[in-house]
Amino acid sequence: MRVSDWSGMSSRFSTVAALEAFLTERLAQPLPGATAQRRFAPLPPRKGWQPDLVPEGERHAAALILIYPGPDGPSIALTVRHHDLPHHPGQVSLPGGGLDPGETHHDTALREAEEEIGVSPANVRVIGQLSSLWVIVSGFVVFPFVGIADARPDFRPEAREVAELLEVPVAHVLDRRRLGWERVTRDHLVVRYAYFDLGGHKVWGATGMILSEFAALFEPDFTPGPPPA
C-alpha cells in the first residue's frame, strides 16, 4: 500500500478496529527501526549519535501513540509543549515522560498520557511498541508504545505542561504531501531537518522520527525525500 492511497483515507482503514487489527499483526513482526528513524533525523547528525543506541547512564522515557475515533476518522493525540518546560519547550510531542522508580516503560507511557492529557489507562489497550530512540540533546532514550481507545477520550490537558492539544487524523500522518524540509543555524552550522505538517505545526525532531517509523509500518519506504540543496 502506498501513502497516496490515504489521501481520502482508505476504506480498509476507515475505522479504529481495522487499524488495530493491522497494527497488532504488524507490530509483532520486525520493526522498521533505525532505518526509518534516520529519515527524519537532523542533518548533519550530532557526533556519536545513532538512534538505536541505549547508552548506559541515559535516562529512560516512554511515549504513547494513542489511536482513537476522531472527528475526521481514526486519529492520534499530540501536544504542543508549554514554552517554559525544561526539555523541548514549544515543540510538538507525543504524551510521554521519564520513568519513575520501579516503573516499566509500558506503565510510564500510560501514566504520562493520564497526567498530560487526562486519558485513563483503563480506557487504553496497548497493542505493541515501536523501536527505542536515543534523544541525545536531552539525554533520554524514548520507548514508544501504540495504544487503542475505542471511544474518543474526554481530554483534559495539563495546563502547566500542554499549551495545545492536537487531534491529528492518522491519514494526515501518512500523507507525503504533508512532508517538508526546514533549515536552522545551530552553533554556526546549517542544520536541515524533515518535518510533518500536522495541525498547523511543523512536527520534527524526536516526535518526527517516531512518527516516521509508525508510517513505515504501512509503507516501508515512507520518506520525505532528499533535503533541498
- What is the DSSP annotation of 23-83? HHHHHTSPP-THHHHHTTS-BSPPTT--TT---TTPEEEEEEEEEEEEBTEEEEEEEEEPT
pLDDT in tens, 126-146: 999 999 999 998 899 999 999
Enter the pTM of the model: 0.93
Would residue 155 count as lying in a domain?
A: yes
Would residue 225 count as lying in a domain?
A: no
Give yes or no for a contact between 192 and 181, defined as CB atoms under 8 angstroms apart: yes
Would residue 223 count as lying in a domain?
A: no
pLDDT in tens, 45-90: 988 999 999 999 999 999 999 999 999 999 999 999 776 655 555 6
What is the model's pLDDT at position 105? 98
Number of structural domains found in the chain: 1
Would residue 229 count as lying in a domain?
A: no
CATH number of the domain encompassing residue 60: 3.90.79.10
Would residue 157 count as lying in a domain?
A: yes
What is the model's pLDDT at position 126? 98
Question: Which residues of the chain have a pLDDT value below 70?
Answer: 1-11, 83-90
Pairing of strands 59-70, 73-81: antiparallel
* Contacts of 67 by beta carbon, 8 Å cutoff, 6+ apart: 16, 19, 20, 23, 74, 75, 76, 146, 147, 148, 149, 170
| Residues pairing with 198 in the sheet | 201
Would residue 221 count as lying in a domain?
A: no
Q: What is the largest CA-CA distance in the chain?
A: 49
Give yes or no for a contact between 130 and 144, defined as CB atoms under 8 angstroms apart: yes
Would residue 97 count as lying in a domain?
A: yes
List Cα–Cα distances, 85 to 29, 160, 202, in angstroms. 36, 9, 19
List Cα–Cα distances, 9 to 6, 15, 37, 132, in angstroms. 4, 10, 24, 28
What is the model's pLDDT at position 84? 63
Domain that holds residue 100: 3-216
Query: What is d(CA 68, CA 65) in angstroms, rounded to the nearest whole number?
Result: 10
What is the model's pLDDT at position 160? 86
What is the model's pLDDT at position 25? 97
